[in-house]
Amino acid sequence: MAEPTVRVSGIVLSSLVFQHVNGDSDVEGLILGESKFEEQITISDSQADNIHIEEVYNIQKHISCLKLNEFYDAVGDVNIDAVKKILADNKEEDVIGWYRQRRNSEQQMTFREKVVHEKLKTSLCNPHMIFVLLTPSRSTPTGSTHKMEYAAFTSRSRLFVNIPVLVSNLGLLESPAYWKASAPCSAGGYRLATSRYSSNFFSSNGLLRDVNDVNAMSDAVQEELQRACRKLEESERLVESLQNDVLTLRRKIREKKSEEP
Amino acid sequence: MAVSAVHLESDAFLVCMNHALSTEKEEVMGLCIGEVEIAKIVHIHSVIILRRSDKRKDRVEISPEQLSAASTEAERLADMTGRPMRVVGWYHSHPHITVWPSHVDVRTQAMYQMLDQCFVGLIFSCFIEDKNTKTGRVLYTCFQSVNAQKGSEYERVEIPVHVVPREAIGKVCLESAVELPRILCQEEQDTYRKIHSLAHLDPVTKIHNGSVFTKNLCSQMSAVSGPLLQWLEDRLEQNKQSIVELRQEKERLLLELAAVCGSKYIFRQLPK
């Protein structure tokens, strides 16, 4: 069997770290995404046909719990109603795992986490789930250097194994080189054939049609990013304002109550 | 020591981390905007993502034009926030390599300190994996440079760095985050423009180069823009949920406050 892999984008991993640095305590939540299992057959002269299953877990987003132990109790039993509440409008079938962030801790699952993991698999009827553990710590006594370690675990026959976490990035995608000069070819037939069809590729501004189209598509994506950014910014300010209001009201209530005889 | 500590706002930290994780093939860099507070604490409020003109390994120098543009941006932030913002540092990434600054980094930092003794450097080391335990690792460090006692000209000085919690993401940091895909696209368009303007390229070469450009832009959309847009939309949905819950909580608290104030009124009215 091929080694399973977890894939996560840089922004989602950064967002997980961001969430943790904003709190004093450990953080946990659910992981949503897509898991794919593909059969791959390799044939070679030296050995018999090799069939292996490629497992890939794509993490697309995370939903944090407001507090620890929100969806399970002291013995690790999962409360499916609590899970549904955390998920809100998200679908149960999109849950591919859960995560926890523990400060200054080892990269090992605790017994309780293992129990919760197995029970979550049963509750969500998903035998293939991952647990992602993030453990930030200080690397130097001065606090000048900090480390965040992350790993994913899955259980096979109740044994937990580590799965590598791959951060999707531009470096993973092939980037062919531009040609700065044409290969010398003086064959008349070659020039004739390529010239005959070149107008199919080029538009009136001299650029390739594909280049014009992909530029337009990229511009459209940029516009969507700007639009989403503006909407998110408005909502961040509103959340901030409401949080301040709630804190102010709580303080006033405390003060009023303390004034009572 | 010129600087006693660096306080990095968590939303600026998010932008830096996302930028560092955008590619494992080359180092990325940017500038830090903020202010120097009493007790020589450098407070970083936001970052500006920069293009690298020289993409050779370990060449993360910032051009005078980029520093000037960053200063202009800092002034804009100063107007917006009413705080004395300026360029206070730089950051860059170390994909697959140690978080410690190289001798080139230390020298570069020393040069910046000649202009501003409070200028600080941040390095994000990423795409590190322990093959045995399959554990991934991201590290970040903060440093300045001092004259070396002997031997090499400068040496690194550790500066404590604290990420300051900030649950809501600021406008400036959100704008910086979405600058990344735009900068990547511009870089690619500039490269393609230079190539396309070369003389004596036959149609086959031009078609190949156009395909390379299309492929690279698609990679950027797939690896960077798409996930970023997804994250923005997901966070918006979560915020909408939070807004509903916060409004309900606020209503409840207003009623409770009214009840407490009402009960106080009754207490005052009761005969002693």
Instruction: Express each pLDDT in B56-108 by its tens digit.
Output: 666 667 888 888 888 998 998 899 888 899 999 999 999 999 999 999 999 99
Give dist(CA B223, CA B200) in Å, integer: 34
Q: What is the mean pLDDT of residues B39-66?
A: 82
Nearest residue of A to residue B177, measured between CA atoms: A229
Looking at residues B177-192, what average pLDDT do you find? 94
Give B189's contacts in chain A (Cβ within 8 Å). Answer: 215
| For residue B114, pLDDT beyond 90 | yes
Residue listed under structure tokens 């409401």? A242
Contact A10 B17 (CB under 8 A): yes
Domain extent listing, chain A: 3-170+180-207, 210-261
pLDDT digits (tens, 9 = 90+) for A195-250: 888 888 988 877 889 999 999 999 999 999 999 999 999 999 999 999 999 999 99
Q: How far is CA A47 from CA A3, A51, A52, A53, A259, in A?
A: 20, 12, 14, 18, 84
Residue type, B229: L
A228 and B233 in contact by Cβ < 8 A?
Answer: yes
Tens digits of residue pLDDT in B115-155: 999 999 999 999 999 988 899 999 999 999 998 877 668 99
- Taking an 8 Å cut-off on Cβ atoms, the answer to whether A210 and B202 are in contact is no
Q: Residue A169, SS3?
A: coil
Q: What is the pLDDT of residue B152?
A: 66
Which residues contact residue B270 at a Cβ distance below 8 angstroms, ignoring those fewer than 6 apart?
A: none
- Best B6, B17, B144 member to test A by mutation, with max A CBs in 10 Å, is B17
Interface contact B41, partner A, CB < 8 A: no
State whether A214 and B129 contact (CB < 8 Å): no
B218-231: pLDDT as tens digits: 999 999 999 999 99
CA distance B90 to B158: 15
Q: What is the pLDDT of residue A261?
A: 67
Residues in chain B: 272
Q: Which residue in the set B168, B195, B222 is minimally distant from A178, CB to CB?
A: B195
Q: Give the 3-state secondary structure of residue B124.
A: strand
Please report the pLDDT score of residue A48 as a whole number: 63
Contacts of B129 in chain A (CB under 8 A): 164
Question: Among all residues of chain B, which has the CA nearest to that of A133?
Answer: B135
> Are the beta carbons of B227 and A9 separated by less than 8 Å?
yes
Min CA distance, B251 vs chain A (Å)?
A: 9
Integer Cα distance of B216 and B149 in angstroms: 47
Q: How far is A41 from chain B (nearest CA, A)?
A: 25
Provide, as residue numbers in chain B, all residues whose Cβ is less than 8 Å from the Cβ of A226: 178
Nearest to B236 among A172, A176, A228 (CB): A228
Q: Enumerate the residues of chain B whose CB falls inside 8 A of the CB of residue A15.
A: 14, 231, 235
Contact state of B166 with A22 under an 8 Å Cβ cutoff = yes
Find tokens 């300045």 and name the residue: B144
pLDDT reported for residue B271: 45
Q: Which of B32, B31, B28, B9 is nearest to B19 (CA)?
A: B28
State residue A196's pLDDT score: 87
B17 touches chain A (CB under 8 A): yes
pLDDT one digit per residue (tens) for chain A, 261 residues:
567 999 999 999 999 999 988 888 899 999 999 999 887 777 767 666 677 778 999 999 999 998 899 999 999 999 999 999 999 889 999 999 999 999 989 999 999 999 999 999 999 999 999 999 999 999 999 999 999 999 999 998 878 999 999 999 999 988 889 999 888 888 888 888 888 888 889 888 778 899 999 999 999 999 999 999 999 999 999 999 999 999 999 999 999 988 876
> Residues B231-266: pLDDT tens digits?
999 999 999 999 999 999 999 999 999 998 886 554
Residue B65 near residue B34, CB atoms below 8 Å:
no
CB contact under 8 A, A61 and B240: no
Give the single-character DSSP code of A41: E
Contact A21 B257 (CB under 8 A): no
For the whole model, what pTM was predicted? 0.92
Of A170, A228, A96, A186, residue with least CA distance to B95 = A170
Domain topology for A3-170+180-207:
Cytidine Deaminase; domain 2 (3.40.140)
Q: Other C-beta atoms within 10 Å of A184: how many?
A: 6
Spatial separation of the C-alpha atoms in residues B210 and B206, rounded to whole Å = 6
